[in-house]
Amino acid sequence: MNDNTRFQEFLGGMRAISPLIAAVIPIGLVFGAVAATKGLSPVEAGLMSALVFAGGSQFVAMDIWTYPASWTGVGFAALLVNIRHVLMSASLGTRMGGFHQPAPYLSMLFLADEIWAMAEFRAKVAKLTPAWFAGLVAPFYLAWVFSGFAGAALGAFLGDPVVLGLDFAFPAVFIVLVMGFWKGPETGAVLLASGAAAVATQHFIPGVWYIAAGAVAGLAAAMITGKTRDVEVTP
Protein backbone atom coordinates (compact mmCIF):
# COMPACT_ATOMS: atom_id res chain seq x y z
CA MET A 1 0.00 0.00 0.00
CA ASN A 2 1.54 3.33 -1.03
CA ASP A 3 1.39 6.59 0.89
CA ASN A 4 -1.49 7.96 -1.12
CA THR A 5 -3.87 5.01 -0.55
CA ARG A 6 -2.81 5.01 3.08
CA PHE A 7 -3.80 8.67 3.34
CA GLN A 8 -7.12 7.94 1.60
CA GLU A 9 -7.76 5.17 4.13
CA PHE A 10 -6.93 7.54 6.99
CA LEU A 11 -9.41 10.11 5.62
CA GLY A 12 -12.00 7.37 5.25
CA GLY A 13 -11.65 6.54 8.94
CA MET A 14 -11.99 10.21 9.86
CA ARG A 15 -15.17 10.50 7.80
CA ALA A 16 -16.65 7.43 9.48
CA ILE A 17 -15.99 8.72 13.01
CA SER A 18 -17.11 12.33 12.41
CA PRO A 19 -20.74 11.93 13.56
CA LEU A 20 -19.48 10.28 16.73
CA ILE A 21 -17.15 13.20 17.39
CA ALA A 22 -20.17 15.50 17.32
CA ALA A 23 -21.73 13.18 19.93
CA VAL A 24 -18.66 12.81 22.13
CA ILE A 25 -17.70 16.49 22.55
CA PRO A 26 -20.75 17.33 24.71
CA ILE A 27 -20.07 14.19 26.78
CA GLY A 28 -16.42 15.21 27.23
CA LEU A 29 -17.47 18.72 28.29
CA VAL A 30 -19.89 17.24 30.83
CA PHE A 31 -17.16 14.95 32.15
CA GLY A 32 -14.82 17.93 32.63
CA ALA A 33 -17.52 19.97 34.32
CA VAL A 34 -18.34 17.10 36.71
CA ALA A 35 -14.61 16.59 37.42
CA ALA A 36 -14.27 20.29 38.29
CA THR A 37 -17.05 19.97 40.87
CA LYS A 38 -15.05 17.11 42.44
CA GLY A 39 -11.98 19.33 42.79
CA LEU A 40 -9.98 18.20 39.75
CA SER A 41 -8.04 20.90 37.90
CA PRO A 42 -8.43 21.19 34.10
CA VAL A 43 -4.97 19.60 33.71
CA GLU A 44 -5.96 16.67 35.91
CA ALA A 45 -9.25 16.18 34.05
CA GLY A 46 -7.44 16.33 30.69
CA LEU A 47 -4.77 13.94 31.96
CA MET A 48 -7.40 11.44 33.04
CA SER A 49 -9.13 11.64 29.64
CA ALA A 50 -5.76 11.20 27.89
CA LEU A 51 -4.48 8.27 29.95
CA VAL A 52 -7.71 6.43 30.74
CA PHE A 53 -9.66 7.31 27.56
CA ALA A 54 -12.75 5.40 28.69
CA GLY A 55 -15.75 7.62 29.33
CA GLY A 56 -17.89 5.16 31.28
CA SER A 57 -15.19 4.42 33.86
CA GLN A 58 -14.27 8.12 34.13
CA PHE A 59 -17.86 9.02 35.02
CA VAL A 60 -18.01 6.17 37.53
CA ALA A 61 -14.71 7.38 39.04
CA MET A 62 -16.19 10.86 39.46
CA ASP A 63 -19.22 9.28 41.13
CA ILE A 64 -17.05 7.62 43.81
CA TRP A 65 -14.26 10.27 43.91
CA THR A 66 -12.84 11.15 47.33
CA TYR A 67 -10.21 13.59 48.48
CA PRO A 68 -7.44 12.45 48.58
CA ALA A 69 -8.23 10.09 45.72
CA SER A 70 -8.39 6.32 46.42
CA TRP A 71 -6.39 4.55 43.71
CA THR A 72 -7.70 1.14 44.71
CA GLY A 73 -11.35 2.21 44.55
CA VAL A 74 -11.25 3.94 41.18
CA GLY A 75 -8.83 1.35 39.74
CA PHE A 76 -11.15 -1.52 40.62
CA ALA A 77 -14.17 0.39 39.33
CA ALA A 78 -12.35 1.02 36.03
CA LEU A 79 -11.54 -2.69 35.75
CA LEU A 80 -15.18 -3.62 36.29
CA VAL A 81 -16.70 -1.02 33.95
CA ASN A 82 -14.23 -1.86 31.20
CA ILE A 83 -14.37 -5.64 31.49
CA ARG A 84 -16.43 -5.45 28.28
CA HIS A 85 -13.21 -4.37 26.54
CA VAL A 86 -11.93 -7.95 26.92
CA LEU A 87 -14.77 -9.21 24.72
CA MET A 88 -14.51 -6.25 22.36
CA SER A 89 -10.76 -6.68 21.91
CA ALA A 90 -11.14 -10.44 21.35
CA SER A 91 -13.76 -9.79 18.69
CA LEU A 92 -11.91 -6.96 16.95
CA GLY A 93 -8.63 -8.87 17.17
CA THR A 94 -10.03 -11.42 14.72
CA ARG A 95 -10.57 -8.56 12.21
CA MET A 96 -6.98 -7.37 12.31
CA GLY A 97 -5.55 -9.77 9.76
CA GLY A 98 -4.03 -6.87 7.82
CA PHE A 99 -2.11 -5.55 10.85
CA HIS A 100 1.55 -6.41 11.50
CA GLN A 101 2.95 -6.64 15.02
CA PRO A 102 2.99 -4.54 17.12
CA ALA A 103 0.15 -2.63 15.35
CA PRO A 104 -2.71 -4.75 16.86
CA TYR A 105 -1.49 -4.08 20.41
CA LEU A 106 -0.87 -0.37 19.78
CA SER A 107 -4.29 -0.03 18.14
CA MET A 108 -6.01 -1.84 20.99
CA LEU A 109 -4.66 0.69 23.52
CA PHE A 110 -7.09 3.16 21.90
CA LEU A 111 -10.07 0.85 22.06
CA ALA A 112 -13.24 2.73 22.96
CA ASP A 113 -16.87 1.77 22.40
CA GLU A 114 -17.36 4.10 19.45
CA ILE A 115 -14.03 3.29 17.79
CA TRP A 116 -14.58 -0.41 18.25
CA ALA A 117 -18.11 -0.29 16.85
CA MET A 118 -17.04 1.66 13.75
CA ALA A 119 -14.11 -0.72 13.17
CA GLU A 120 -16.41 -3.78 13.48
CA PHE A 121 -18.76 -2.16 10.97
CA ARG A 122 -15.92 -1.46 8.58
CA ALA A 123 -14.69 -5.05 8.83
CA LYS A 124 -18.10 -6.30 7.62
CA VAL A 125 -17.79 -4.43 4.29
CA ALA A 126 -14.04 -4.03 3.65
CA LYS A 127 -10.64 -5.05 4.93
CA LEU A 128 -9.75 -3.18 8.11
CA THR A 129 -6.38 -1.43 7.72
CA PRO A 130 -4.15 0.26 10.32
CA ALA A 131 -4.43 3.59 8.42
CA TRP A 132 -8.24 3.47 8.48
CA PHE A 133 -8.18 2.60 12.19
CA ALA A 134 -5.77 5.49 12.87
CA GLY A 135 -8.22 7.78 11.07
CA LEU A 136 -10.87 6.74 13.60
CA VAL A 137 -8.62 7.12 16.61
CA ALA A 138 -6.73 10.41 16.05
CA PRO A 139 -9.64 12.89 15.86
CA PHE A 140 -11.75 11.01 18.40
CA TYR A 141 -8.93 10.86 20.95
CA LEU A 142 -8.10 14.55 20.56
CA ALA A 143 -11.78 15.53 20.79
CA TRP A 144 -12.18 13.53 24.02
CA VAL A 145 -9.06 14.93 25.71
CA PHE A 146 -9.67 18.56 24.74
CA SER A 147 -13.37 18.50 25.58
CA GLY A 148 -12.55 17.06 29.01
CA PHE A 149 -9.98 19.80 29.61
CA ALA A 150 -12.33 22.52 28.31
CA GLY A 151 -15.25 21.21 30.37
CA ALA A 152 -13.21 21.46 33.58
CA ALA A 153 -11.98 24.94 32.64
CA LEU A 154 -15.46 26.22 31.75
CA GLY A 155 -17.14 24.36 34.61
CA ALA A 156 -20.25 26.13 35.77
CA PHE A 157 -20.61 28.17 32.55
CA LEU A 158 -22.04 25.12 30.82
CA GLY A 159 -25.79 24.65 30.99
CA ASP A 160 -27.41 21.64 32.63
CA PRO A 161 -26.75 18.77 30.18
CA VAL A 162 -29.79 16.83 31.42
CA VAL A 163 -32.19 19.66 30.48
CA LEU A 164 -30.60 19.89 27.02
CA GLY A 165 -30.84 16.11 26.61
CA LEU A 166 -27.11 15.88 25.83
CA ASP A 167 -26.58 13.08 28.32
CA PHE A 168 -28.73 11.04 25.93
CA ALA A 169 -26.28 11.36 23.00
CA PHE A 170 -24.22 8.38 24.18
CA PRO A 171 -27.10 5.88 24.62
CA ALA A 172 -28.59 7.13 21.32
CA VAL A 173 -25.35 6.32 19.47
CA PHE A 174 -25.38 2.84 21.01
CA ILE A 175 -28.96 2.22 19.94
CA VAL A 176 -28.14 3.15 16.35
CA LEU A 177 -25.19 0.74 16.46
CA VAL A 178 -27.29 -2.09 17.97
CA MET A 179 -29.79 -1.71 15.11
CA GLY A 180 -26.91 -2.09 12.65
CA PHE A 181 -25.83 -5.44 14.10
CA TRP A 182 -29.23 -7.07 13.47
CA LYS A 183 -28.80 -10.33 11.58
CA GLY A 184 -32.07 -12.13 12.28
CA PRO A 185 -33.85 -14.02 15.07
CA GLU A 186 -30.56 -15.13 16.69
CA THR A 187 -29.67 -11.48 17.22
CA GLY A 188 -33.11 -10.99 18.77
CA ALA A 189 -32.39 -13.76 21.30
CA VAL A 190 -29.01 -12.21 22.14
CA LEU A 191 -30.53 -8.72 22.61
CA LEU A 192 -33.41 -10.02 24.70
CA ALA A 193 -31.14 -12.01 27.03
CA SER A 194 -28.62 -9.22 27.34
CA GLY A 195 -31.19 -6.48 27.93
CA ALA A 196 -33.21 -8.48 30.47
CA ALA A 197 -30.11 -9.55 32.43
CA ALA A 198 -28.71 -6.01 32.44
CA VAL A 199 -31.94 -4.44 33.68
CA ALA A 200 -32.44 -7.11 36.37
CA THR A 201 -28.84 -6.86 37.57
CA GLN A 202 -28.89 -3.09 37.65
CA HIS A 203 -32.08 -3.23 39.72
CA PHE A 204 -30.72 -5.59 42.37
CA ILE A 205 -26.95 -5.04 42.46
CA PRO A 206 -25.45 -1.58 42.91
CA GLY A 207 -22.52 -0.55 40.75
CA VAL A 208 -21.76 -1.46 37.17
CA TRP A 209 -22.07 -5.27 37.28
CA TYR A 210 -25.02 -4.98 34.90
CA ILE A 211 -22.75 -4.51 31.87
CA ALA A 212 -20.85 -7.74 32.50
CA ALA A 213 -24.06 -9.61 33.43
CA GLY A 214 -25.86 -8.49 30.26
CA ALA A 215 -22.90 -9.32 28.03
CA VAL A 216 -22.53 -12.83 29.51
CA ALA A 217 -26.28 -13.51 29.23
CA GLY A 218 -26.22 -12.38 25.59
CA LEU A 219 -23.32 -14.70 24.81
CA ALA A 220 -25.07 -17.57 26.59
CA ALA A 221 -28.10 -16.99 24.38
CA ALA A 222 -25.87 -17.05 21.31
CA MET A 223 -24.36 -20.35 22.46
CA ILE A 224 -27.77 -21.92 23.05
CA THR A 225 -29.28 -20.81 19.73
CA GLY A 226 -26.08 -21.93 17.98
CA LYS A 227 -26.39 -25.39 19.60
CA THR A 228 -30.05 -25.90 18.61
CA ARG A 229 -29.17 -24.93 15.05
CA ASP A 230 -26.42 -27.58 15.02
CA VAL A 231 -28.91 -30.19 16.25
CA GLU A 232 -31.41 -29.23 13.51
CA VAL A 233 -28.94 -29.75 10.68
CA THR A 234 -27.63 -33.04 12.09
CA PRO A 235 -29.87 -35.95 10.95
Partner 1 sequence: MTVDLATLVAILSMAAATVITRLSGLVLIRHVSLEGSRRKVIESIPPAVLMAVVAPTAFATGIAETMACAVTAFAALRLPMLVSVALGVASVAILRALGL
- What residues numbered 121-160 form the site for partner 1, per CB under 8 A? none
98 binds partner 1 (CB under 8 A): no
109 part of the interface to partner 1, by CB under 8 A:
yes
Contacts (CB under 8 A) with partner 1, residues 31-60: 40-44, 47-48, 51-54, 56-58
Q: For residues 117 and 211, give the distance between their C-alpha atoms in angstroms, rounded to a whole number.
A: 16
Of residues 3 and 109, the one with the C-beta less far from partner 1? 109
Residue 71: CB atoms within 10 Å: 8
- Smallest distance from partner 1 to CB 89, Å: 3
Quote the least distance from Cβ 86 to partner 1, whole Å: 5
* The one among 27, 62, 85, 135 contacting partner 1 by CB under 8 A: 85
Q: Which of 82, 129, 137, 150 binds partner 1 (CB under 8 A)?
A: 82
Q: Quick check: 56 and 174 in contact, CB under 8 A?
A: no
The answer to the question of residue 64 lying near partner 1 (CB under 8 A) is no
Contacts of 12 (CB under 8 A, 6+ apart): 132, 135
Burial class for 121, CB neighbours closer than 10 Å (0-12, 13-18, 19+): middle
- Smallest distance from partner 1 to CB 64, Å: 11
d(CA 19, CA 38): 30
By C-beta, is 7 or 76 nearer to partner 1?
76
∠ Cα 88 92 97 (to 5°): 160
Number of residues this chain uses to bind partner 1 (CB under 8 A): 98
Q: Where are the alpha helices (DSSP H) in 54-129?
A: 55-63, 71-81, 84-93, 103-108, 113-125
Nearer to partner 1, 5 or 172 (CB): 172
Considering only 7-15, 18-26, 125-133, 134-142, which stretch makes contact with partner 1 by CB under 8 A? Answer: 18-26
**Chain residues 173-232 in contact with partner 1, contact rule CB under 8 A:** 173-182, 186-187, 190-191, 193-199, 202-203, 210-215, 217-219, 221-223, 226-227, 230
Query: Could you give the angle at which helices 55-63 and 71-81 cross, rounded to 10 degrees?
Result: 140
Spell out the residues 6+ positions from residue 121 whose beta carbon is closer than 8 angstroms to its own. 16, 177, 180
Is the Cβ of residue 138 or residue 153 nearer to partner 1 in the bound state? 153
Exactly one of 6, 12, 84, 139 binds partner 1 (CB under 8 A); that residue is 84
**Contact of 53 with 141, CB cutoff 8 Å:** yes
Q: Work out how close the CB of 205 gets to partner 1 at its nearest, in angstroms, rounded to a whole number.
A: 12
